[in-house]
Amino acid sequence: MELGLMVNFVSPNALILMVLFSCIPISYLLFSTRIFSKKKQYHHPDFYPYPIVGHLPQFLRHRRNFLDWSTKILAASPSYTIVFQRPGNINGVITANPINVEHMLKSNFDNFPKGSRFRSILHDFLGHGIFNCNGSLWRLQRKTASFEFSTRSLRSFIHRAVADEISFRLLPLLRRAASSGHPRPARNP
């Protein structure tokens, strides 16, 4: 009886408006998750987005073997690049295509800035370093780092590392084996 009284107090126009306004969020979800999209995208059978939560269930399911699983997904993709959706219909990109990596990190770096959220989250860990800055500051850091990774400096580093490994680990091991008189298998002490 109470429901009948309530319907009497709500006019038919108000009821129609309530139904229409309740359909707006549902239609937004349907269109935002690309259910009605005409553009066909590649989807690996193990990597299909869910409405609202995106690819989160797959990421959680494969968290223990993430590298193997993501490598399998990337290898199956025609371009070695996949687009994933985070909750809230926020897209991200994972690529193993060297051409795409060069395009994003070298050729058109200014077109792919790190957002303020990314920088603020990683600021305590990365500060204002090369991995957490944009624009002219990034160019300056990259130029500075390129001097550290020159052929001469890398060759010098490798020479020092190999010389230290031989003098502090290999030669003492061979001396101990020679003084003991017993043959020893070649493995770490």
> What are the pLDDT digits (tens) for 55-84?
888 889 999 998 998 899 999 888 888 888
The residue to which tokens 């549902």 are assigned = 26
Share the mean pLDDT of the chain. Answer: 78
pLDDT of residue 13: 67
Say which amino acid occupies 114: K
**Total number of residues shown for the chain:** 189
pTM to 2 decimal places: 0.48
> What are the pLDDT digits (tens) for 89-132?
778 888 899 998 888 877 887 787 777 887 888 888 888 777 77
Helix locations, the chain, DSSP H: 2-9, 12-32, 56-61, 66-76, 98-102, 116-126, 135-148, 151-165, 171-180
Quick check: 145 pLDDT over 50? yes
pLDDT of residue 139: 81
Banded model confidence at residue 1, pLDDT cuts 50, 70, 90: very low
| Mean pLDDT of all residues in 157-186 | 86
Range in 136-140, 162-166, 168-172 with the lowest mean pLDDT: 136-140
82 exposure class (CB count in 10 Å sphere: 0-12, 13-18, 19+): buried
Q: Which residue has the higher pLDDT, 182 or 172?
A: 172
Percent of the chain residues past pLDDT 90, beyond the cut = 13
| Mean pLDDT of all residues in 162-175 | 91
- Residues ≥6 apart with Cβ < 8 Å to 176: 189
Domain ranges of the chain: 1-32, 40-112, 150-189
55 and 86 in contact (C-beta within 8 Å)? Answer: yes
Quick check: 168 pLDDT over 90? yes
30 and 61 in contact (C-beta within 8 Å)? Answer: no
| Mean pLDDT of all residues in 32-55 | 68
